[in-house]
Amino acid sequence: MRTPALFLSLLLSVCGFAADAVLAPFVQREELAGAVALVASKAKVLSVTTVGFADIEAKKPMSADSVFWIASQSKGITATAVMMLVDEGKISLDDPVEKYLPEFKDQKVAAGKGAPVARARSVTIRDLLSHVSGLPFKSAEEVPTLDGLSLAAAVKTYAKAPLATQPGAKYQYSNAGINSAARVLEVVSGMAYEDFMDKRLFGPLGMKDTTFWPNAEQVSRLAKTYKPDASKKKLTLGGLGQLKADLTDRTHRFPMPAGGLFSTAKDVSTFCRMLLNGGELDGRRYVSAAALKELSSRQTPKELKDSYGLGFAVGPDFFGHGGAQATGMEVRTKDGLVLVWMVQHQGFPGKGGQAQGEFKKWAAKEFGGK
């Protein structure tokens, strides 16, 4: 797959401030096919850097409008939508899930080889969004792909099995929890989850390339996935094995709130800028300051190691989320910055994560505190 002249010519495919100095070596060493790195402030996009290829075989350069599967970055976006209903007084974070989804009533907790035992308390919506519900990552029925069941059907598969742990007792990263919270959104709003997202978030924010079903034109802009080959010295073509092959298929593919979204760097930055601006953008409020505080504050019990908010990983001065293909978004509240990192690289976090770390250090040096 070596095409040295093209690799070198694409290292400087950059607009704005140049992050290519730290990113280009990953492409030159064939550790990454390509990437899009974006920095924004509350007011605007400050820098967009593109390096390498969206498709090595076709010699197609990465571009600012390349489309990516953002996978678990979907979790924070879904949680934000759920908080809209909290703001409207239609649900409470501490409501028991069975109030809206009766299939969860009387769900028990696994007890090793013994018979399942009763729950100490009900699972709450807060538990679902912070990965302490006791629900698994996925159900057995969500194999081989994660997008083969409707949301209502998927949630029923979660409810029929015992919880792995007592609610609130352990952090256990869970697609099932986020998906169940989105099912609550459907029941309470009376809208299909994907319709709610389009009407309440993606449409108003102008996120025209954010979707569960990329159309043919968007698929033409989709960056291909690569992974290290057996030698670990070159890249070979990977894929989106967790999703059904025909991404445009609305009959057999279903929206997955925990990880089904496709998007662009610009669209993701728009969503993050709304959060950085306290829940509003361009004169329109999406979530309240109180809702944003819930999203971006630690929800996991102090005695647990993992620090997670509602749909977001949280730290002292930031919150955000990554995706299975090593993508990432970060809202840096102290610096007033949004960082968006787009790659399609298997082997999470791998070289995709390493390159993202270099991008973050560059962004902090170039823009931090300004």
| pLDDT score of 14 more than 90 | no
> Are 287 and 93 contacting, i.e. CB atoms less than 8 angstroms apart?
no
Give the span between the Cα atoms of 91 and 294, in whole angstroms.
14
- 3-state SS assignment for residue 211: strand
pLDDT tens profile 24-74: 999 999 999 999 999 999 999 999 999 999 999 999 999 999 999 999 999
Rounded to two decimals, what is the model's pTM? 0.93
Give the span between the Cα atoms of 340 and 38, in whole angstroms.
5
What pLDDT is recorded for position 370? 53
Model confidence at 306, in pLDDT bands (50, 70, 90)? Answer: confident
What domains appear along the chain, each with residue ranges and CATH number? 4-73+195-367 (3.40.710.10), 75-191 (3.40.710.10)
Considering 72, 74, 189, 269, which one is annotated as catalytic?
A: 72
- 72 flagged as catalytic: yes
Give the span between the Cα atoms of 202 and 195, in whole angstroms.
10
Helix (H) or strand (E) segment spanning residue 204: helix 203-205
